[in-house]
Amino acid sequence: MPGNSFGTLFRITTWGESHGEAVGVVIDGCPPKIPIDESAVQDMLDRRKPGGSPASTSRKEPDKVIIMSGVFKGMTTGTPLSIMIRNRDADSESYKKYADIFRPGQGDITYHAKYGIRDWRGGGRASARETVARVAAGAVAKALLGREKITVCAYTIELGGIKAEVRDHDAVSGNMFFCPDMKAALKMEKRVNDVKKKGDSLGGIVEITAKGVPAGLGEPVFDKLDADLAKGLMSIGAVKGVEIGAGFKAATLLGSENNDPITGEGFLTNNSGGILAGISNGDDIVIRVAVKPIPSIAIEQKTIDVTGKERTVSVKGRHDISAIPRINVVCEAMVSIVLADHMLRQRAVGR
Ligand SMILES: Cc1cc2nc3c(=O)[nH]c(=O)nc-3n(C[C@H](O)[C@H](O)[C@H](O)COP(=O)(O)O)c2cc1C
């Protein structure tokens, strides 16, 4: 199945299904002598684990990382890194009742149309379980970026219609939704609990900021930095929109409002989100992603089975109420992977 690899010089290939033996990633092109150990990867994976908020599933996923190759005495060797995470808390039995019907909002109907066969256990390859592998690769990318003092941080700015009104970055690690507004985080908790009782689910918006990115990353014309960021982020399940800088709001502004004036000290505003003509301009890179509500809901909905017969389905079980906040670290990982790739590509330009 092609389409499982991403990146040009820092290239990742993820593998595995939700209820298979394990999931993992092969990273090819990571330069040698990058300090990396299992605990750095584990720390990032722990941020994706369920259990931190009422919006998350009750599944227990220990997600113990195993680095199988490419690291020697805590340093990358320049050879392919292979990282594996075993699947532990998979309850395939509970998926049997959905084996011959299509759950609305899921990839069941499209995988069936494409392959004529699908691993219905936990969503198979379409499952968010695959994102474990991206987060592991993101930890390696972050270590690479860390050498250049580039940082990437994702936080929740909207959940179930509750918006963060302030950006207090010290607050992000102080609440279960990774929200930069403590008051909004409290309202989010109430909203999640109310919706959970009704058997429904919620969507929201995650913002990602990359700081310290030098000017010059990004390639004309199809591999623009914003194009690759959008592709990387849109490849995460449940992400339905990506905007950079002013994004959709730019469509309502005048040119005189949207342009970022340039002074000897730098840009006066950052409507560009740190990218001009597909190339980083040295300012912070600011991206927002729209996350749809979790499709698995207990509320009964119309569907059809594999023979086309009309049925109804209510998806009960251990599901997230919202992909937020577990998706935040996945977004952070994908942005880090894209930046690491473009950093290596800019080195190849040799300027
Ligand atoms: C971190 C994360 C957790 C998710 N958790 C669930 C879940 O528990 N149940 C579910 O049905 N979908 C979950 N999803 C969403 C589905 O994977 C996704 O909506 C589905 O594969 C269909 O793909 P699409 O939304 O991109 O069209 C999650 C997604 C992410 C990124």
Q: What tens digit of pLDDT does each residue of 182-227 get?
A: 999 999 999 999 999 999 999 999 999 999 999 999 999 999 999 9
Residues 96, 97, 100, 106, Cα dihedral to 10°: -90
Please indicate whether residue 339, judged by its CB atom, sits closer than 6 Å to ligand 1. Answer: no
Q: Which of 320, 324, 330 to mutate to test the pocket of ligand 1 (most atoms within 8 A of CB)?
A: 320
Q: What tens digit of pLDDT does each residue of 223-240 get?
A: 999 999 999 999 999 999
What is the CB neighbour count within 10 angstroms for residue 109? 17
Residue closest by Cα to atom 20 of ligand 1: 106
Q: Which residues of 28-56 are buried (b: 16+ CB within 10 A; e: fewer)?
A: bbbbeebebebebbeebbbbbbbeebebb
Q: What's the 89 CA to ligand 1 centre distance in angstroms?
A: 17
Q: Determine the pLDDT at residue 121.
A: 80
Give the integer Cα–Cα distance in Å for 136 and 41.
6
End-to-end CA distance of the chain: 38
Please indicate whether residue 319, judged by its CB atom, sits closer than 6 Å to ligand 1. Answer: yes
Question: Does the pTM exceed 0.95?
Answer: yes
Please indicate whether residue 324, judged by its CB atom, sits closer than 6 Å to ligand 1. Answer: no
Please indicate whether residue 323, judged by its CB atom, sits closer than 6 Å to ligand 1. Answer: yes
Q: Which of 127, 135, 233 to mutate to test the pocket of ligand 1 (most atoms within 8 A of CB)?
A: 127
What is the CB neighbour count within 10 angstroms for residue 281? 23
Q: What tens digit of pLDDT does each residue of 293-327 get?
A: 999 999 999 999 999 999 999 998 788 999 999 99
Q: Identify whether 180 is preceded by a cis peptide bond (ω within 30 of 0).
A: no
Ligand 1 atom, smallest distance to 326 CA: 1
Residue closest by Cα to atom 11 of ligand 1: 296
Asked if 24 and 69 count as a contact pair (C-beta separation under 8 A), the reply is no
Give the integer Cα–Cα distance in Å for 168 and 179.
9
> Is 109 strand, coil or helix?
helix
CA dihedral sign, ordered 64, 65, 68, 71: negative
